[in-house]
Copies of this chain bind each other. A is one copy, B any other.
Amino acid sequence: MDKKDTPNNIQPGENTAVLLMHCPDRPGIIAILTEFINDNGGNILYLDQYVDRVNSVFYMRVQWDLTNFTIPADKLRDYFDTLYAQRFDMTYNLYFTGTPQRMAIFVSKMSHCIYDLLARYRAGEWKEWNIEIPVIISNHPDLRYIGEQFGIPYEVIPVTRENKPEAEAQQFAILEHYNIDFVVLARYMQVLSDNFINRYPNRVINIHHSFLPAFIGSKPYHAAHQRGVKLIGATSHYVTADLDAGPIIEQDIVRITHKDTVDDLVKKGRDLEKIVLARAVEKHIQHKILPYGNKTVVFN
């Protein structure tokens, strides 16, 4: 089992393009776009599509090898704009796996999520997606040792009710300094301002420790214990202005019993949280999530 794990047989280091798009449904879109890619020397590695027949919306993700593709990457957007954007009323994003994606991790005091993310990063699980994690930001100094273990700058910015605007200004400065593309809140126990969220729309991923929409807000394990539920959950979602109400990316649950104390829920929940968050992060970096309205299309 020495081979690098590569979904869909994409080799690390390959230079590929990803088109993630949606538009009003109409016949022939797949045909036209795949022909365009094929005719210009692109070898399609992945294609998944979905039609929302109730609202007549067509969603697609196509990934192709750029090795023999005759259109230069930096002209591709022009081609799509000219040829298809208006014609299909198409909203799209283009990504190139040759371009690094720079992730910042925010943490508070709990280490299970950040350790899980950094272990994957260090093991090269995301290598073909060209992920870089240049900085960790925290409101507490407690986990500085993790930054040191992994050789990643760990910036402490204390946050209080009073200093939030100033604290966020500092955070922005750091995010800009490191040219950050998206933010992962790995059990970061502070609510972000609307200002923050508007700067990074659908680019801040949070893990909430309940199966949303149940137990919104703080202390969901206490609330779950109080209610006497027989399973607890975790939900990963894009952060929006409404607390814990953003588009859900991934959820999972684990069974509990009357024997479990709140502390047991916390403990069982930790494994859930880190796995659910990692799945969401992975879908994000693979450009497999298409947010629409307050929901997500998540390709597999």
Contact = CB atoms under 8 A, between A and B. Distances in A.
Interface of A: 1-3, 5-9, 27-28, 30-32, 34-35, 38, 44-45, 47, 49-51, 53-54, 109-112, 115-116, 119-120, 122-123, 125, 149-150, 189, 211-215, 219, 221, 227-231, 233, 247-253, 255, 257-259, 261, 263-264, 266-267, 270-271, 275, 278, 293-298, 300
Contact of A263 (B9, B214, B253, B255): B9
A197 to B, nearest CB: 18
10 contacts: A1-B110, A7-B263, A8-B53, A8-B264, A9-B261, A116-B119, A213-B215, A231-B252, A253-B253, A271-B278
Contacts of A27: 34-35, 38, 44
Contacts of A219: 1
A132 to B, nearest CB: 18
A227 B213 contact: yes
Contacts of A122: 111, 115
One complex includes copies of this chain to the number of 4
Q: Which of A28, A250, A294 has the most CB of B within 10 A?
A: A28
B214 A213 contact: yes
A51 to B, nearest CB: 7
Nearest to A120: B112
Contacts of A227: 212-213, 248, 294
A210 B111 CA distance: 29
A119 B35 CA distance: 48
Contacts of A54: 9, 261
B264 A7 contact: yes
A35 B44 contact: no
A229 B295 CA distance: 8
A295 to B, nearest CB: 3
Contact of A247 (B123, B228, B295, B296): B228
Contacts of A247: 228
B51 A47 contact: yes
Contact of A261 (B8, B31, B34): B8
A38 B30 CA distance: 13
Nearest to A25: B44
A247 B8 CA distance: 23
Contacts of A50: 258-259
Contacts of A116: 116, 119
Contacts of A35: 27-28, 31
A45 B267 CA distance: 18
Q: Which of A125, A214, A233, A296 has the most CB of B within 10 A?
A: A214
Contacts of A297: 258
